[in-house]
């Protein structure tokens, strides 16, 4: 390749990286430092020691972990099943399962309200059957359902693609040696899907950590970190703290994605060596 063409090929990548990563992160750092002045370090210390901010961060992390675990289980089962079974209407089912990717977070939140909100379908059915109306849309459970709804398509597509490449002969060999269904799942299928599960799970976790639209619609009285950042920025006009919390959120998600990339690479190397 001509050496003079290398800068021309790299320039678009550098421009996109600078515009969508370096510039926003730099502006957040500048905003927190300039607003905090000489007390910039104290600003970050307050962010990581304040009960309110740490509670918000803890709720966000626990919720994201729960959504990630549930998504991996559900999307893993669905992905493997669809990868190995061809039936009439399979294409329509695939399109339905990926359809939530077209919805913004606010629409997902509105759908949860229509399902399990005060005037939701589940509430009307439960009231008719038991006399009590079930309303969970505005709780952590409702937020969990909303996050789960838009997370499943992001994971099952990756798992399905990985499942299509599985070597079925390994499972047959395991069964011929006396392994039961659960042993085959534990010792053959899950390890083979591990890189896809780790990478898609990390993306699911990162997306849940930063989800705003669904949380804004459903999180009435629930201080997940994106809502806390929004409140600090809009209602309290505390731009410095909002910037600091945004940086903390970004660092956590970046470290998660970095760890997933490393783990996936190690697993791929181990599989190749085996």
Q: Supply 242's token pair.
A: 């909002």
Taking residue 230's Cβ as centre, other Cβ atoms within 10 Å add up to 15
Q: What is the pLDDT of residues 26-67, one digit of tens each?
A: 777 777 676 555 466 777 888 888 888 999 999 999 999 999
The two most distant CA atoms of the chain are separated, in Å, by 76
* 30 domain residue, yes or no: no
The answer as to whether 11 is a domain residue is no
- 208 within 8 A of 224, measured Cβ to Cβ: no
177 found inside a domain: yes
Q: What is the pLDDT of residue 267?
A: 52
Q: Would you list the DSSP string of 92-152?
A: HHHHHHHGGGGS-HHHHHHHHHHHHSTT-HHHHHHHHHHS-----TTSHHHHHHHHHHHHH
Residue 217 lies in a domain: yes
What is the full DSSP assignment across 32-95?
HHHHHGGGHHHHHHHHHH-HHHHHHHHHHHHHHHHHHHHHHHHHHHHHHHHHH---TTHHHHHH
Give the per-residue pLDDT at 65. 94
User: Does the residue 2 lie in any domain?
Assistant: no
CA angle 200, 67, 187 (to 5 degrees): 55
Q: Is residue 13 part of a domain?
A: no
User: ∠232-60-34 over CA atoms, to 5°?
Assistant: 35
Range of the domain at 100: 44-273
Q: Domain for residue 116, yes or no? A: yes
Split into its structural domains, the chain has a count of 1
Q: For residue 61, what pLDDT is reported?
A: 93
DSSP secondary structure of 198-261: HHHHHHHHHHHHH--HHHHHH-TT---HHHHHHHHHHTS--HHHHHHHHHHHHHHHHHHHHHHH
Give the per-residue pLDDT at 269.
Answer: 41
Sign of CA pseudo-dihedral 211, 145, 81, 103: negative
Question: For position 39, what pLDDT does the model report?
Answer: 60
Distance CA(264)–CA(274), nearest Å, equals: 15
What is residue 70's predicted lDDT score, i.e. its pLDDT?
Answer: 95
pTM (2 decimals)?
0.81
| CATH code, domain carrying 109 | 1.10.3720.10
Cα distance between residue 13 and residue 244, in whole Å: 27
Spatial distance between the Cα atoms of 191 and 202, rounded to a whole number of angstroms: 17
Residue ranges of the chain whose pLDDT lies below 70: 1-6, 32, 34-40, 219-220, 264-274
What confidence score (pLDDT) does residue 59 get? Answer: 92
Domain assignment present for residue 20? The answer is no
Element (H, E) at 6: helix 6-17
- The reported pLDDT for the residue numbered 58 is 92
**Burial environment of residue 150 by CB neighbours within 10 A (0 to 12, 13 to 18, 19 or more):** buried
Compute CA distances 244 → 156, 215, 232, 250, whole Å: 34, 20, 11, 10
């Amino acid at each position: 390749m001509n050496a003079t063409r290398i800068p021309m090929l790299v320039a678009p990548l550098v421009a996109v990286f600078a515009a969508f990563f370096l510039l926003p992160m730099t502006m957040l750092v500048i905003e927190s430092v300039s607003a905090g002045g000489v007390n910039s370090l104290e600003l970050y210390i307050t962010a990581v020691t304040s009960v309110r901010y740490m509670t918000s961060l803890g709720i966000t992390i626990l919720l994201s972990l729960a959504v990630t675990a549930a998504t991996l289980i559900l999307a893993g089962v669905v992905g493997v099943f669809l990868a190995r079974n061809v039936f009439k209407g399979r294409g329509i089912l695939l399109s339905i399962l990926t359809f939530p990717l077209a919805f913004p977070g606010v629409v997902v939140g509105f759908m949860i309200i229509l399902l399990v909100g005060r005037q939701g379908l589940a509430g009307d059915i439960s009231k008719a059957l038991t006399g009590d109306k079930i309303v969970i849309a505005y709780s952590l459970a409702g937020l969990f359902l909303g996050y789960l709804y838009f997370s499943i398509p992001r994971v099952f597509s990756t798992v399905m693609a990985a499942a299509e490449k599985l070597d079925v002969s390994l499972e047959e060999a395991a069964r011929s040696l006396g392994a039961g269904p659960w042993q085959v799942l534990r010792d053959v299928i899950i390890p083979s899907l591990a890189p896809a599960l780790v990478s898609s799970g990390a993306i699911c976790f990162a997306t849940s950590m930063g989800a705003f639209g669904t949380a804004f619609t459903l999180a009435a009285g629930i201080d997940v970190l994106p809502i806390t950042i929004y409140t600090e920025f809009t209602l309290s006009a505390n731009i410095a703290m909002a910037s600091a919390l945004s940086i903390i959120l970004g660092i956590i998600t970046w470290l998660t994605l970095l760890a997933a990339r490393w783990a996936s690479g190690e697993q791929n190397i181990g599989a190749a060596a085996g």
